[in-house]
Amino acid sequence: MKEVSSGSYPRFSDLQSLLHQNKTSCLDRVRHHLSVIKSKSHLNVFLSVYEKDALKKAEEVDQKIKDGKAGKLAGLVVGLKDVFSYKDHPLQASSRILDGFIAQYNATIVQRLIDEDAIIIGRQNCDEFAMGSSNENSAFGPTLNAVDETRVPGGSSGASAVAVLTDMCQVSIGSDTGGSVRQPAAFCGVLGLKPTYSRVSRYGLIAYGSSFDCVGIFGRSTEDLALVLEVIAGKDEFDSTVSSKEVPEYTSLLSQTSGDKKYRIAYLNESIQSDAIQSDIKTTLSSVISDLTQAGHEVEGIDFPLMEYALPAYYILATAEASSNLSRFDGVRYGYRSDNTHDLASLYRKSRAEGFGQEVKRRILLGTFVLSASYYDAYYNQAQKVRRMIKEQTKKLFNSFDFLIMPTAPTTAFKLGEHSEDPVEMYLADLFSVHANVAGVPAMSVPLGNDPDGLPIGLQVVANDFEEASLFQFSKLLMNLRG
C-alpha cells in the first residue's frame, strides 16, 4: 500500500492567498504539478501534458496577479478528461477512432476556466467514450489507482480522480453520465460532484448519453468544487439544454454556513441490509448515520423499491442514445480511417470495426437492438416509463427530506481485470450512481473512511434539483463530523 493522502495537499483557497502574498507563484505551482506527473507517469494518467502552454500561461497569470488584474481562478491548475474540446489540442475520448483529431474550438467550460485564468495542464485518460467503470476500456491502456496500484481507479473518469489524489493538478473536470465522476472519486478518496442535469453547458463535450451527460468536478475540498462550479455553470448560447436559472454564489454561501442547521436525511434501508454491498461500506454508512443522529439531525431509513430498476433503465437508455451519438464517427469526418477499403460502405464498416474498442461496439449493438422496431416498446419505451417513475418518486422524497444518502459504490476499488470477463458484473459497480442521472438530480461523493485494506470509501449525498449549494454545505458538515 502506498502512502497517498489527498488530505495533505492544500486547498485552492489557501493557495490563492499565498499567491497574492507572493509566497508562491503560478510558475512554482505548475512546475510542482509537472514534476508529480513525471514521477508518477507509470500510473498512466495523462495522455498529453501541455507543459509549454502551461508554463507560459503561468507566467502570464503571475504578471496579472502582480498587476491586480487576475481572474477568479488565477493559479488553479486543471486537468481535463479526454472528452472536452480544447482548441488546437488533441481530443479523442481515449478511442482509436479519433486518432489524430485536433479540437477546433473550446468547450464552454474550457473557455470559462481560461477566461478566469485557470491553467490547463493536460488531457486525462478515461474509458473509451466514457463507457466503463474501471478505466480499463481505454485505447491507451488502464490507469492505475495510486492508493493500490494493483487496483482500478474506477471509471470512466478514473485518471481524473487519480490526478487529484496525487496532486498532479488541483482539480479535474470529468463527465458523469451514470457515475463516472462519483464512482472514481469514491475509489480514490477525493470529492466528486455531478451537478443537476442542465446546470452546466455541454457544448464541446463529446456526447455519450445526451439525456444523462453532465459535466462534473473532482477536488479535495468542497470550497474548490464550489468555486469551479460557480465559474462553469449557467446559461450558454451554444447549448440550448442549459438551464437559464441564475447561478448562486456557491463559495460565499458555503463560507456563511453556520454549522448548526439541522437537516432531514433519508438513507436507503437496503444499503444497510443488502448482501451485495461490502460489509465495511455498510459499517461506515451505519456509523455516519449514528454520528448524524447524535449531532441532532433527523435521519430515517426508507424503502425505495424502484431503485433496483434504475440500473437496467439506465443501461437501456444510455446505450440507445450512445448508438445514435456515435453514428457520426464514420471514418469520413473525424480521426481514424481504415486503409483497407474498396467502397463507401466498407470504409464505414472497417473504420468503425477497427476504430472502436470492444465495449463501445457492445454498447452500439445493444443500443441499436433496444431501438429496433420489434423491441422498441419492450425495452426503450418501457425504460422511459420506469425513468419517469423513478424521477417522480425521487422528487416526492425531497418533499420530506433535504438529502438522500447511500454508498457511492457497492464495493471499494476492485482489482485490475477482476470484472473484465463479465460486463454485467462491471455494470453492477454503478448500482447506486446511475440513480441520480436517471432522476437528473445533483449528487456528490464524499470520502468518509477506508476499509481494512486502506481503500477509500465514498458516501454519496443526493439532493433535489439545483440544490448544489446545500450539497456543498452538507458535504462539508459530513467531513467535519467525521474528522
**Catalytic residue set:** 81, 156, 180
234 binds ligand GLN (CB under 6 A): no
- Map residues 44-83 to x or -, x wherever contact with ligand GLN holds by CB under 6 A: ----------------------------------------
Nearer to ligand GLN, 82 or 223 (CB): 82
Q: Return the SS3 of 114.
A: helix
Rounded to whole angstroms, what are the CA distances from 289 to 231, 268, 283, 405, 464?
33, 11, 10, 9, 20
Closest by CA position to 217, among listed 242, 163, 181: 181
Among 12, 187, 197, 208, binds ligand GLN (CB under 6 A): 208
Burial annotation 21-31 (CB, 10 A radius, 16+ → b, else e): eeebbbbebbe
Among 79, 153, 158, 178, binds ligand GLN (CB under 6 A): 178
Q: Return the SS3 of 213.
A: coil
177 binds ligand GLN (CB under 6 A): yes
d(CA 457, CA 448): 6
Closest by CA position to 461, among listed 313, 310, 299: 299
Smallest gap from Cβ 472 to ligand GLN, in A, equals 21
Nearer to ligand GLN, 292 or 322 (CB): 322
Cell 472536452, residue?
A: 84
Smallest gap from Cβ 476 to ligand GLN, in A, equals 25
Which positions ≥6 away from 37 have C-beta within 8 Å? 45, 46, 49, 121, 122, 168
Nearer to ligand GLN, 178 or 189 (CB): 178
Smallest gap from Cβ 159 to ligand GLN, in A, equals 13
Nearer to ligand GLN, 373 or 424 (CB): 424
The burial class, CB within 10 Å (0-12 / 13-18 / 19+), for 452 is exposed
Helix residue spans in 47-127 (DSSP H): 51-66, 108-115
Nearer to ligand GLN, 103 or 131 (CB): 131
Among 94, 111, 143, 156, binds ligand GLN (CB under 6 A): 156
d(CA 401, CA 380): 31
Smallest gap from Cβ 381 to ligand GLN, in A, equals 21
Smallest gap from Cβ 126 to ligand GLN, in A, equals 8
430 binds ligand GLN (CB under 6 A): yes
Binders in 388-407 for ligand GLN, by CB under 6 A = none
Binders in 94-153 for ligand GLN, by CB under 6 A = 130-133
Q: How many helices (H) and strands (E) does the chain have?
A: 17, 11
Nearer to ligand GLN, 40 or 182 (CB): 182
- Map residues 303-322 to x or -, x wherever contact with ligand GLN holds by CB under 6 A: ---------------x----
Which positions ≥6 away from 447 have C-beta within 8 Å? 6, 185, 186, 189, 190, 191, 456, 457, 458, 479
Interface positions with ligand GLN (CB under 6 A): 130-133, 156, 175-180, 208, 318, 430
